[in-house]
Amino acid sequence: MFHKLDKNQDGLVTLDELHWILERLGWSEHTPEELELFVGKQSLDLDEFLRFYDDAVSNRKETKNDSVVDNDDAIVGAFNVFDVNGDGYISSEELRTVLERLGFEEETKSWDCGRMIRAHDKNLDGVIDFEEFKNMMLHVQ
C-alpha cells in the first residue's frame, strides 16, 4: 500500500496522500492540516507510515460486529476495513470494493477476488469470517 501511495517513488508519503488513503478507508475524521499537527511533519517514510497506520488501527477499537472479539486490534481493524457492510463476513464484492478504494482499480480488473476468497474460505460458505481472516493474516506475516 505504501508504494502505491508514494506516487513519485521518493520513499515518502505526503500528508495529502495519507489523507487520501484515510478517506478511502472511511477514516477521514481529520483534515490534512490536522494530520500535520498530529504527525508533526509533511511526509512519512515507510517505517513512520507503518507506525502511523498501527496507531490509527489501534485507536479505532470500535468494531462493526459485536461478536468479533480478539486481542489483536490490528487484525480486528483490518477485518473491519474489508467488512464493508458490517455483517461479520468479507465477500468477494467487498474485497473488490476495498481494493478499488485503495487505488488498485486497474489490478482488480485482472484479479479474481472470488478465487482469493475461496483460497481462504475453510468452511466453504463463500465468504471469509473473522477466524478465516485472522488465520490468513497470521500465515501471511
Q: How many Cα atoms sit within 13 Å of 54 on the Cβ side? A: 7
| Whether the predicted pLDDT of 130 surpasses 80 | yes
Instruction: State percent of the chain over pLDDT 70.
Output: 80
| Whether the predicted pLDDT of 68 surpasses 50 | no
CATH code of the domain occupying 73-140: 1.10.238.10
Task: Give the three cell numbers for residue 4.
Answer: 502505491
Q: 128-141 burial, b for 16+ CB within 10 Å, e for fewer?
A: bbbebbbebeeeee
Domain ranges of the chain: 2-59, 73-140
- 21 vs 32: CA distance, rounded Å: 12
Q: Between 82 and 53, whose confidence is greater? A: 82
Read off the pLDDT band of 122 (50, 70, 90): very high
Fold match flag (2-59 vs 73-140) = yes
Q: Between 88 and 3, whose confidence is greater? A: 88
Q: Would you say 87 and 127 are in contact if contact means Cβ atoms under 8 Å apart?
A: no
Mean pLDDT, to the nearest integer, of 35-63? 74
| Whether the predicted pLDDT of 115 surpasses 60 | yes
Predicted pLDDT of residue 77? 83
| Whether the predicted pLDDT of 141 surpasses 70 | no
Which one of 3.30.420.40, 1.20.1250.20, 3.55.50.30, 1.10.238.10 gives the CATH number of domain 2-59? 1.10.238.10
Q: Between 77 and 70, whose confidence is greater? A: 77
pTM of this prediction? Answer: 0.52
| Whether the predicted pLDDT of 47 surpasses 70 | yes
